[in-house]
Amino acid sequence: MPDTALKPVMILFLDRFADWETPLISGIGGDFYGLTVRHVTPGGGAIRSMGGLSVTGLEDAVPREDEVIVLCGGESWTRDQAPELGEMLRAAHGRGQTVAGICAATLALGRAGLLDGREHTSNGLDFLRHWLPGYAATGHYRDVPHAVADGGIITAPGTAPVTFAAEVLRAAGLPPDKLDEFLAIASAEVRR
């Protein structure tokens, strides 16, 4: 049953999305904590993941005013055909919505100007410089292996789906004790 105290989440996929980057949000977030999650793609319809999973019947990527917006990574963000989402993302962030991007989806945040003046990370500084001509936010880039949240923007390298999911769940309003529980569940197999 959905937890009405939590903000809902909209996860946006492009064709060839990275299967492993957002399922903890919808899987554990939805099943364990009652998070309401919608999966969308620009224009709606069907897409295929990098791992070959076919996803059909997706709604068009139109955010609702109470949602945390999550952009799933994948190689399509580096292509010339990547959708221009800047206006939508800036408008949502301007309304106070959290906007999150993992892996190559951080490029959409950079193109929208949402990395400027905020601490952020991605798949590497050289990755951002290569794919974002004119990228000028190097002073705010953090070369860390985990998600970074600053000013309603969440970023993560593609190798950090656990901390990315935790920051998205935090933005949705999951209480600290439940966040600790989530991190324990999602990282239980990691040995130190």
The pLDDT tens digits for 105-114 are 999 999 999 9
Backbone angle region of 113, left / alpha / beta, with phi > 0 → left and psi within -120 to 50 → alpha:
left
Within a domain: residue 69?
yes
Within a domain: residue 2?
no
Give the count of domains, the chain: 1
Within a domain: residue 93?
yes
State the CATH number of the domain containing residue 102.
3.40.50.880
Model-level pTM? 0.95
Within a domain: residue 191?
no
Within a domain: residue 19?
yes
Within a domain: residue 119?
yes
Instruction: With CA atoms as reference, report the closest residue to 13 among 86, 87, 103, 141.
Output: 103
Within a domain: residue 1?
no
Q: What tens digit of pLDDT does each residue of 22-46 get?
A: 999 999 999 999 999 999 999 999 9
Q: What tens digit of pLDDT does each residue of 68-90 get?
A: 999 999 999 999 889 999 999 99
- b/e map 87-115, b = 16+ CB within 10 Å: ebbeebbeeebbbbbbbbbbbbbbbbebb
Residue with tokens 């989530």: 182
Mean pLDDT, rounded, for 125-152: 96
Q: List alpha helices for the chain, DSSP H.
A: 23-33, 86-94, 106-111, 125-131, 161-172, 176-186
Per-residue pLDDT band at 190 (split at 50, 70, 90) = confident
Within a domain: residue 192?
no
Q: Dig out the tokens for 130 from the structure.
A: 């290569």
- Identify the domain containing residue 80 by its residue range: 9-186
How many residues are there in the chain?
192
